[in-house]
Amino acid sequence: MADSPSLSVILPMELISQFLALEHSDQVLGKEPIVPFAILLVVILVVPILFERLRLPGLMGLIASGIVLGSHGWNLLQTQSPIMNLLSDIGLVYLMFVAGLEVDIAQFRRTKNRSLGFACFTFVVPVVVGTAIGRIFGFDWNAAILIGSLFASYTLLAYPIISRLGVVNNLAVTVTMGATIFTDISLLVVLAICVAIHTDKLSFWQVITLLNSLIIYSLVVLVGFDWLGKEFFRRSGDDEGNQFLFVLLTVFLAAVGAQLIGLEKIVGVFLAGLAVNEAVGEGPVKEKVVFVGNVLFIPIFFVNLGLLIDVPTFLKSISTLELTLFIVVGLFTSKLIAAVLTKLVYRYNWQEMLTMWSLSVPQVGVTLAATLVGYRAGLLNLAVLNITIFLMLFTSVLGPLITSKVAVGLTRIPEKAQKSTTPPPQNQEKRNTPLTIVVPVYNPQTQQYLIEMAALLARQANGRIVPLAIATAFSHMDAPQLSASVQRSEQLLAKATAQSRVLGVEVEPLLRIDDAFAQGISRAAREQKANLIIMGWGKRTGLRARLFGNVIDNVLWASHCPVAVTRLMESPKKFQRILVPVENLMAPSLQPVEFAQMLAEANQAQVTVLNVCERRTSSSKIASRRSQLSLLVSTLTLPNPPEIQIIAHESVAQAILQAARLYDLVVLPFIRNRTSPGGLAISDVTTELARQLTCSIIMLGEPQRTQTAVLQTGETTTAPMSEGII
């Protein structure tokens, strides 16, 4: 009984302390600026992965997260927060800079006249239609013209699809791709003028002065930054760190310069992206710049867009729904009219016209950025911003879907492109030149079959095998961990050397100390002037591989030569029947066929080249496809031509799976386009085949400069190979 008073005092004190702790936690969550940043990191790390698992765009997940976490949802993130404003502005700037950085300047120069023609049609017609819609719904002339100009810009979301179909060199496609530079710049000019008129109440002569300032500023950025970039990159050598900082400096200098003369900063950063485009090129610096934007800042920008959306108000407003309908119909109609006019002027066929229309429909990067700037300036209201976000989601799904259907029949390829896709007459001589094959060795369980396959190919071409072992570098070269890694690598190399000599091929083992496996493999292959890299299938899956990719992903992306990723169920010496599916007959990649034929000659095996067409294809068209495929294969001048097989089936994957039951090995080509940090674009049908095939598989990835064919039409997944295949 003596303890009762003390207990009665202790329990309330504990409750008070817990309450104070909770109150302190609420204060931290409410005032500490690091908390919103931590929430954003969790969102951009997890949400896109979950949405892609559901076969939905990761971008949609980021915007949905903003809706849920914003003031109209759980109220965990505030648009007025200083850190949100800062990170969102950086994301906006980064988005526009990357848009300019990824413009293909060389391709634009080749088709600049026709691109300018299509750009005029696809800009003027949507501006007229959009302005009319804006005036109908009560917007003033300034806002209505800006709404119309938002229709004009477009994003080439369907590029991976047309690349897989092998029609990138089609003149109508290249013209559409080149026109983006005109439409983007035109939209930004209209945006700068409309915002300046709205905020500063400019007179006619002040607008003329602003235009003159814009012209002078553009010349300074495009000429000056271009020269500075080339000089800096030439003098800095291989210092990627300073080059990366220089690129970031140009971004923010251009943004500050634009604001000093009264322009929106996104105009300056887009021009800066165009200016340093050629200086940066396709090297590691560009990959780092794009990686930082795609991983961090640009996703935060889209989350912030979601914070601005008021879904209940959007759905309840009848006028908003009517405006949405008019804008969607107006966009599709105006783009179609522009494509028809281009067809009439340049005499494209209907297939090309529909492809140009579908490519010019998606509204993502520049359109969203311009809409947000117009909203922040008070020129556009929240309803227009919400409609634009809906338009982005709708067109980004429907546009590529239409492209995948209408671009399949494209047949007009420029004469130069046709010549470039035809193997040279001395192809047979190339087959007799010495072959260097790099075989990374790491897993003793798969090493034997990898060496056997390399030996079979090397013997056919009087080549050599370079077994490669990578020891992970440490800051101190005398570190015990490094010594253990080197010792293990030497043991693997000794075993690989012994196996190669037994098989009777020349072998040159190579031990390399490098910071990472993937970079070590691709660099060593380049130094050895390798013709082929043969790797075993990676087993690492899960969240880490999904986010950052694995060694196979990175080697496939960086290597200068073809990479054969193998899953061998038996010794390559036992392969007697080899199947090579080829979907695209317009500009097919024949390297998988040649690879399979070399392997078949070593085993006295038979190669079958398979093409799957629609079930309703007539017998005459099937015969035509067989003749076309036979003609293409004959250009390889193979000593033992492969068998040609055409199957009519409603499902490409199921047709190949049924045919593969009779074969020991299936060789699958695939595209090597980077679609997200750490991920490669792999078609759905390739993913399905790799999961269901029970025989041995080889995935052959060609260098980016020569990739022209894939297995499947339609949309791609962005999963790394460790997730999309295994």
Residue 456's contacts (CB-CB under 8 Å, 6 or more residues apart) are: 572, 573, 599, 602, 603
Higher local confidence (pLDDT), 715 or 35: 35
Compute the distance between CA of residue 604 and CA of residue 161 in angstroms, rounded to an integer: 37
Contacts 24+ apart (CB under 8 A), 211-218: 213/261, 213/262, 213/263, 214/189, 214/261, 214/263, 214/267, 217/257, 217/258, 217/261, 217/263, 217/268, 217/271, 218/271
Residues of the chain by 3-state class (helix, strand, coil), percent to 5: 65, 10, 25
Compute the distance between CA of residue 383 and CA of residue 319 in angstroms, rounded to an integer: 10
Pick the CATH number of 422-536 from 3.40.250.10, 3.40.50.720, 3.50.50.60, 3.40.50.620: 3.40.50.620
* Res 686 pLDDT > 50: yes
Do 305 and 66 touch, CB atoms closer than 8 A? Answer: yes
* pLDDT tier, 132 (very low <50, low <70, confident <90, very high otherwise): very high
pLDDT of residue 412: 43
pLDDT of residue 164: 66
| DSSP H or E stretch at residue 611 | strand 606-613
Share of the chain above pLDDT 70, in %: 82
Domains 40-414 and 422-536 share a fold: no
The token duo for 288 is 């780092």
Query: How high is the mean pLDDT of the chain?
Result: 78
The token duo for 302 is 């889209």
Query: What's the mean pLDDT in 234-239?
Result: 76
pLDDT of residue 1: 46
Paired strand residues for 700: 564, 669
**pTM of the prediction?**
0.63
| DSSP H or E stretch at residue 653 | helix 652-660
Do 130 and 147 touch, CB atoms closer than 8 A? Answer: yes
Among residues 657, 661, 581, which one has the least CA distance to residue 613? Answer: 581
Do 186 and 137 touch, CB atoms closer than 8 A? Answer: no
Do 633 and 609 touch, CB atoms closer than 8 A? Answer: yes
The Cβ of residue 423 has, within 10 Å, a number of other Cβ atoms equal to 15
Compute the distance between CA of residue 321 and CA of residue 683 in angstroms, rounded to an integer: 36
pLDDT of residue 152: 85
Higher local confidence (pLDDT), 254 or 71: 254
**DSSP secondary-structure letter at 221?**
I
With tokens 């079958």, the residue in question is 608
Query: What's the mean pLDDT in 531-543?
Result: 68
Give the least confident one: 178-187, 244-253, 413-422, 660-669: 413-422
* Res 688 pLDDT > 50: yes
pLDDT of residue 11: 47
Report the CATH number of the 40-414 domain: 1.20.1530.20
Query: What's the mean pLDDT in 62-89?
Result: 83
Give the least confident one: 70-79, 266-275, 502-511: 70-79
Query: What's the mean pLDDT in 604-625?
Result: 84
* Res 576 pLDDT > 80: yes
The Cβ of residue 390 has, within 10 Å, a number of other Cβ atoms equal to 16
Domain 540-726 has CATH 3.30.1490.190: no
Paired strand residues for 581: 610
pLDDT of residue 433: 62
Do 524 and 468 touch, CB atoms closer than 8 A? Answer: yes
Compute the distance between CA of residue 702 and CA of residue 594 in angstroms, rounded to an integer: 13
* pLDDT tier, 432 (very low <50, low <70, confident <90, very high otherwise): low
pLDDT of residue 676: 39
Phi-psi region of 549 (alpha: psi -120 to 50; beta: other; left: phi over 0): left
HEC-encoded secondary structure of 475-533: CCCCCHHHHHHHHHHHHHHHHHHHHHHHCCCEECCEEEEECCHHHHHHHHHHHCCCCEE
Q: What is the pLDDT of residues 93-128, one digit of tens each?
A: 888 888 888 777 777 777 888 888 898 999 999 999
Give the least confident one: 66-75, 177-186, 406-415, 544-553: 544-553
pLDDT of residue 133: 92
Do 644 and 607 touch, CB atoms closer than 8 A? Answer: no
Do 593 and 642 touch, CB atoms closer than 8 A? Answer: yes
Paired strand residues for 439: 467
**DSSP secondary-structure letter at 702?**
P
Most confident of 203-207, 214-218, 582-586: 214-218
Q: What letters, b where the CB count within 10 A reaches 16 and e where it falls short, cover 308-325?
A: bbbeeebeeeeebeebbe
Q: Where are the domains of the chain?
A: 4-32, 40-414, 422-536, 540-726
* Res 12 pLDDT > 70: no
